[in-house]
A and B are shown apart, each in its own frame.
Chain A
Amino acid sequence: NAGVTQTPKFQVLKTGQSMTLQCAQDMNHNSMYWYRQDPGMGLRLIYYSASEGTTDKGEVPNGYNVSRLNKREFSLRLESAAPSQTSVYFCASSVQGAYEKLFFGSGTQLSVL
């Protein structure tokens, strides 16, 4: 039982390049989330999907897009990466919303040069 799996673990991009961060969960959870974590700060919500077929903006959605491909997978896309998007990105899932605990992936360290 893998839980929440994120790929890649590390990525270096040049300004303007695009990429997609992948996330998959095998716990049959309905809700999935993308957070970013910057040094000395807590996690900030980028986008979330309360259930399959729905996505909503979080606190810092600008410069990102998401796709809830199916119940298992929730991807985050950077269309034109900027240095301000250098961060650690975490995917998480929960049974339903924030009513219960979140399970987190191990993170993607992204550097944009």
Chain B
Amino acid sequence: SQQGEEDPQALSIQEGENATMNCSYKTSINNLQWYRQNSGRGLVHLILIRSNEREKHSGRLRVTLDTSKKSSSLLITASRAADTASYFCATEETSGSRLTFGEGTQLTVNP
């Protein structure tokens, strides 16, 4: 079964707006990662946040992690049409050395 669950499953916004995606997980983790997948392509790593971190920034991306609620959010600011893609969260459980992915959020940014 999936460790992470993204919410919403699909999100449609206008260019320039902010997009927020959420991820919830079930077990204790070492780190949580966000990936992006353009249609028909492989996944590309966006950002990694470790269990002892609460917030991280990378360009227009902001990731937060709340280990007490077992949840994370990915914020994309000032979105662009090129941000249209699926976004996945993935967790490394403390009990293992592998990455488990959620089902993803499909983001559509309309020009």
Query: Which of B90, B92, B104 is in CB contact (< 8 Å) with A99?
Result: B92
Judged by DSSP, the binding face of B is: strand
Contact status A58-B43, CB under 8 Å: no
Contact status A107-B42, CB under 8 Å: yes
Contact status A42-B98, CB under 8 Å: no
Contact status A101-B41, CB under 8 Å: no
Instruction: With a 10 A CB-CB cut-off, give which of A56, A98, A99 has the most chain B CB atoms.
Output: A98
Contact status B42-A104, CB under 8 Å: yes
Whole-angstrom CA separation of A98 from B48 in the bound complex: 10
Q: Can you list the 4 inter-chain pairs with the closest CB atoms, starting with the nearest?
A: A97-B97, A104-B42, A98-B92, A42-B101
Give residues in A with beta carbon < 8 Å to B.
4, 31, 33, 35, 40-45, 48, 50, 56, 58-59, 90, 92, 97-107
